[in-house]
Chain A
Amino acid sequence: MIKKVLIANRGEIAVRIIRACREMGIETVAVYSQADKEALHTKLADEAVCIGPAPSKESYLSMERIISATVVTGADAIHPGFGFLSENSRFAQLCQQCSITFIGPDADVIARLGNKQEARNTMAAAGVPVIPGSEEAIYDAQTGLEAARAIGYPVIVKAALGGGGKGMRTAYTEEEFIQSFQTAQQEAEKAFGDGTMYIEHFVENPRHIEFQILADSFGHVIHLGERDCSIQRNHQKMIEESPSLALTDELREEMGQAAVRAAKAAGYVNAGTIEFLLEASGRYYFMEMNTRIQVEHPVTEWVTGIDLVKEQIRIASGKKLSYEQEDVHLSGHAIECRINAEDPKKDFRPSPGTITDMYLPGGKGIRIDSAIYSGYTIPPYYDSMVAKLIVWAKNRGEAINKMQSALGEVIIEGIDTNVDYQYEILNHPDYRSGNVDIGFIEKMQRCMV
């Protein structure tokens, strides 16, 4: 069993991991940059090692320094958290070379899943649905038409060298296709000097549905249900919940099985997440697999009653999973709101600074994972997420009410936060009725303007 863990991260996730270790009787080592001398994770851990100057590249991303800190403190494992080095296969490999347990999957698994094309091929081979698309480059509209027919409408025509939305057109019917293809191709030739095109099924107004899986080193894989993360701004998730209104028990079963197959096909060990796009039609497509603990893991913890970080450590210690698939039941409804130090009125510009006063809510069914305290100065160098507010209730309606009540109690003085903005989202009739997709925030913003 692991005896001492070095947490190669900062902020609330570092605190979260320290707490799990402490409960398990495992010693903890925090690493911190010069800007994080007063950070909560630095103060909370049993030991703390300064690993360099404020810029991440010279501290939280410096593999050599983190490995050195591990050796010096004699920690036998590293928990990478999320972000930073968590999905860096090179780092996982270095840990292995230095006889340090990396709490996550093997280096080569990370590498394989990090390669989009390879991940897609692996999933397709395992029978996990992927977005259908033309295998080969297409140069003329006629060939494109046949490909589009095979793929199924609507389709999107994309330039091989594309970017920034240029050389991209959608088509809903055969009549529309020729026109769309030609326009996109002309645009591509103009913008990139190349008219090589690809055609893909256009996933219209999907929801972001992801499945949490756990896999041990004995080939045993289970899924812990889904999280609906459709509330996103610029691909940044804001609110996550479990379960999703969009899934029937049958669909949950089917997608869960697909997620388990995906993990098995990848030879995955430890906690991971398979992200899908779900169409209103009920069709779903594999997007990518995240090979780390997720920010939004608490919602799954709450509806399943399983502590994911503790399971990660157990799996990394070579233990068998504590649960069988039959033991996993989703009960009630959990919602998480990310609280960021940012100013929604100024295009969500980060708002670092000193917290002069604060009050955070509590009570039944309310959980706060945070790294801030009164008098703490949020440094400008890192991610702006400073806390996560998670609530649980019997059903979605109650959970929303509880979240609103809790958000209403949050007081963080000295910096700007997105708390009021989150409150507005929860008030939105479409959100309340569950009528959302990944375009929700954009639509809401447009209405507000």
Chain B
Amino acid sequence: MKLDNMFKKTRLPKRKGAAAADTSGPEVPEGLLRKCNMCKAAIIAEDVKKGDYICPKCGGYFRMHAYKRIRSVADEGTFEEWDRGLTTRNPLQFKGYEEKLTSLQEKTGLDEAVTAGRARIGGEETALAVCDGRFLMASMGEVVGEKITRAVERATKEELPLIIFTCSGGARMQEGIVSLMQMAKTSAALKRHSDAGLLYITVLTDPTTGGVTASFAMLGDIILAEPGALIGFAGPRVITQTIGQKLPKGFQRSEFLLEHGFIDAIMERPQMKEVLSRLLSFHKNERSDTQKAQKLTNGIRQGLKIPPEMDQAKAWDRVLASRKKDRPVGRDYIGSLFTDFTEFHGDRYYGDDQAVIGGIAYFRGMPVTVIAQEKGRDTKENIQRNFGMPSPDGYRKALRLMRQAEKFHRPVICFVDTPGAFCGVEAEERGQGEAIARNLYEMSALKTPILSIVIGEGGSGGALAMAVADEVWMMENSIYSILSPEGFASILWRDSGKAKEAAEVMKLTAGDLYALGVVERVLAEPEELTAQEICSVTDPLADQIGEFLERYGDMDAEALVQHRYDRFRKM
């Protein structure tokens, strides 16, 4: 049965003067509801305000005003503003520019597109600058450049870390070439801040484009981004017009940048304050212990024995053990040995190789940089992580993190577990050989202790690129060799089926390599080593790492580098 227009409706006598405006009708007061620019839904303004300016319907991010942003991350009442009231000279004598600025100042209550100062975040002192898109799309004129530069300089002088929340349409057209020069000026100041060993974090918010991306936004030691933010040099509209092509979905969004290796992590607003405070606390300068007396223990190999049962297993059995499916992988070691591991992504050139994971963590309360070749725990992860075969991007990410460790005087601990560097067209196109060579070159002189531990397969150059270390240790059932036994057999005997025989002659077991003086320690394993029982090896390993850090942490940089040089010089 269809009920369309079947029922009689309420029929009311026409109200007198019904046309006259009925003032008692319902009305949404100004500001009660607002529209989400992303999902177009009407939403209650108060929900947006209370919910970190995130749309409760679609989860999209609203742009945040500078002072609201400061309130959301800084400890209450700790923000002290610097350089408020700087004004532009209107260098091009651009007509109507000053009037425009005055009207914006009145409308927004801001003096310019950036607000800078000092604040505490989770109790940690920091310099803080925040761009505000309401002011000429936070384009960078001389005042923005000057305020940023002054904040950087003051942070350098006062030995403060610096956090900048970026948002900008790019250069300010009304200030022409003077605007362009701000890019160089801010970058130069940041170089000095960095040379002073100070931490710089950028948080990229929607939109960060043009001259700001091509200067201070991309220079952070750590670069975070809000989800879905537009980040790029040339804006998407300009690109479309230039190349006459439709751009892919998600192009130049935070997620795209993460995938392409340009940001360390995407951070949701509700976690922002906590993460910033953690990063600041992690980088707190405690230089007191770096000046400790130089005491180099020469007995690097003293008192260490190969586990007695070492020689009984055949080399081929070790090869099989090192490749076992349920053998613990890099992440298992990280989880068991360190606390507060914070992963950083990307090589800042091309991509974020999933075969290498790295970041910062605490080892018994001491900040360290941890890098691991990661095979993954199941087939799905194996594929995602390319079975632990790094691409050039993976080695470049590792090197970037090692340089960061050097800057902040953090020891580096590497976990080696790879069948070899990825063998493929793309890898060659991006310079696999160059990437490996660069790591050997740079690691040899890195002014911070490096410990590499082979936990599974140590496949050739792909392994060595993460093992130019002060000491290299091996798990009892790991292997380390010039190439896989299969490859060895196929090159030498033209028969990869003879891998078993190859393994026996290659001297690739931990015991063999210890005897050859290629590694310093062999770490005993239980009969069956699985991720569940990783503590049986990581508990004693942690003590040995502690001892390593104590020994090398006390060395001065010159001695350390010389020691590493000598280590390889004699091979």
Contact = CB atoms under 8 A, between A and B. Distances in A.
Contacts of A67: 26, 28, 33
Contacts of A71: 25-28
B470 to A, nearest CB: 44
A100 B28 CA distance: 9
Nearest to A68: B42
A76 B25 contact: yes
B1 A373 contact: yes
A375 B3 CA distance: 10
A44 B4 CA distance: 9
Given A27-B12, A98-B32, A373-B1, A74 B6 contact: no
A14 to B, nearest CB: 14
Contact of A43 (B3, B27, B32): B3
Nearest to A95: B26
A100 B6 CA distance: 30
Given A43-B4, A64-B43, A94-B44, A74 B9 contact: no
Given A26-B10, A64-B41, A94-B32, A76 B1 contact: no
A63 B3 CA distance: 28
Interface in A46-91: 46, 63-65, 67-68, 70-71, 74-76
B7 A98 contact: no
Contacts of B6: 43
A297 B25 CA distance: 30
A40 interface: yes
Most chain A Cβ neighbours within 10 Å, of B7, B9, B25, B27:
B25
Given A27-B12, A46-B10, A373-B1, A70 B26 contact: yes
Interface in B1-47: 1-4, 6-7, 9-10, 12, 22, 24-29, 32-33, 41-44
A64 B44 contact: yes
A374 B1 contact: yes
A74 B28 CA distance: 11
Among A22, A26, A28, A40, residue most surrounded by chain B Cβ atoms (within 10 Å): A22
Contacts of B32: 94, 97-98
Contacts of B9: 46
A263 to B, nearest CB: 28
Nearest to B4: A43
Contact of A98 (B12, B27, B43): B27
Contacts of A26: 10
A70 B32 CA distance: 15
B10 A21 contact: yes
A108 interface: no
B426 to A, nearest CB: 43
Interface of B is mostly: loop
A40 B22 CA distance: 31
A282 interface: no
A62 to B, nearest CB: 9
Contact of B26 (A43, A46, A98, A375): A98
Contacts of B26: 67, 70-71, 74-76, 98-100
Contacts of A75: 26
Contacts of B7: 43-44
Contacts of A25: 10, 12
A97 B45 CA distance: 13
Nearest to B33: A64
Given A27-B10, A43-B6, A94-B32, A74 B43 contact: no
A304 to B, nearest CB: 27
A314 B292 CA distance: 85
Interface in A88-147: 94, 97-100
A197 to B, nearest CB: 34
B188 to A, nearest CB: 50
A38 interface: yes
B50 to A, nearest CB: 12
Contacts of B44: 63-64, 94
A70 B42 CA distance: 14
* Residue from B1, B3, B10, B22 having most chain A Cβ neighbours under 10 A: B10
Contact of A64 (B10, B12, B42): B42
Nearest to B3: A43
B42 A65 contact: yes
A28 B11 CA distance: 11
Given A64-B43, A94-B44, A38 B3 contact: yes
Contacts of A43: 3-4, 6-7
Nearest to A90: B44
Contacts of A40: 3
A99 B3 contact: no
Nearest to B27: A99
Nearest to A52: B41
B62 to A, nearest CB: 16
The 7 closest A-B pairs by CB, nearest first: A43-B3, A64-B42, A375-B1, A100-B26, A46-B9, A71-B26, A74-B25
29 contacts: A22-B10, A25-B12, A27-B10, A28-B10, A43-B3, A43-B6, A43-B7, A46-B9, A63-B44, A64-B41, A64-B42, A64-B43, A65-B42, A68-B28, A71-B26, A71-B28, A74-B22, A74-B26, A75-B26, A76-B26, A94-B44, A97-B29, A98-B27, A98-B28, A98-B29, A98-B32, A99-B24, A373-B1, A375-B1
Interface of B: 1-4, 6-7, 9-10, 12, 22, 24-29, 32-33, 41-44
